[in-house]
Amino acid sequence: MEIILKNLTKELNGNRVVNNVNLSLYAGKIYGLCGYNGCGKTMLMRLIAGMIRPTMGTVTIDGKQLGKDMDFPPKMGVLIENPAFLGNYSGYENLRLLASISGIINSDMIEDVLERVGLSDSAKKKYRKYSLGMKQRLGIAAAIMEKPNLLILDEPTNALDTDGVQRTKEIIREERNRGTLVIMTCHDRAILEDLCDEIFNIEHGTVMIASTKDEGGR
């Protein structure tokens, strides 16, 4: 997968929340977005995910323009802001319901992904009884369960304990090694530096600096 952002701009109420972004992103890489709250990170992710349309510029995925040739990126897993599921359904039932939309994974694969995120023992527990960390784990499970080509994770380690953070880092590396294009944000710069092949610093919706693992001693 190749994603090309060309002059990508989004305006809200007269303010440019994403400002003339030009990036090329490739499969098998982890890209980190770094910046203060409100700098445009999440808005940029929403544009790439097809959740909103740009005011100007384009998102092109493997030569096809988002919003023109397709509504959403193909084979995408996404967790942006807080995960939301049906409270009276168990973790397993929520994933099974989501999986029924495309019908490309079976019950064994759902059980496997629950094991990967550390929710096997809580698979039959009602979602409304989940802790914040368990809800986050289920959100990650939903994002990765269909083996996406594009994985977008907004603060994936939010509310996770030490075990959850370690599992999530391992999952992100595994997805990258599988050939997935991963885009993520994290408030912990050290996690970004540990995981990402490139980190883009964002200020006022503008990509300021890109650092790679070959730079800065990382």
- For 45-91, write each residue's pLDDT tens digit: 999 999 999 999 999 999 999 999 999 999 999 999 888 999 999 99
Same domain, 155 and 47: yes
Average pLDDT, the chain: 94
- Is 7 domain-assigned? yes
**187-197 as b/e, with b when 16 or more CB fall inside 10 Å?**
eeeebbbebbb
Q: Do residues 95 and 191 share a domain?
A: no
Same domain, 5 and 68: yes
* 68 and 90 assigned to the same domain: no
Please give the residue range of the domain that contains residue 130: 76-147
The number of residues in the chain equals 218
Q: Is 60 in the same domain as 108?
A: no
Task: Say if residue 179's pLDDT is above 90.
Answer: yes
Q: What percent of the chain has pLDDT over 90?
A: 91
2 and 27 Cβ atoms separated by less than 8 Å: yes
Per-residue pLDDT for 29 more than 90?
yes
**Dihedral (C-alpha) 1, 107, 162, 192: value to the nearest 10 degrees?**
10
Residue 17 tokens read as 């929340």
- The string of pLDDT tens digits covering residues 90-125 is 999 999 999 999 999 999 999 999 999 999 999 999
* Closest-CA residue to 200 (of 2, 1, 11, 5): 5
118 shares its domain with 130: yes
- Which pLDDT belongs to residue 216? 43
Residues 35 and 129 in one domain: no
Burial class (CB in 10 A: 0-12, 13-18, 19+), 27: middle
Domain containing residue 39: CATH number:
3.40.50.300
Residue at a domain's end among 125, 147, 169: 147
pLDDT at 25: 97
68 CB burial (10 A radius; 0-12, 13-18, 19+) = exposed
Secondary structure letter of residue 35 according to DSSP: -
Residues 84 and 120 in one domain: yes
Residue 47 counted as domain residue: yes
pLDDT in the model for residue 82: 84
Claim to verify: residue 82 and residue 59 sit in the same structural domain: no
Q: Has residue 58 been placed in a domain?
A: yes
Please indicate, yes or no, whether residues 56 and 103 belong to a single structural domain of this protein.
no
Q: How many domains are contained in the chain?
A: 2
The pLDDT, as a whole number, for residue 211 is: 78
59 and 116 belong to one structural domain: no
pLDDT band at 217 (very low <50, low <70, confident <90, very high): very low
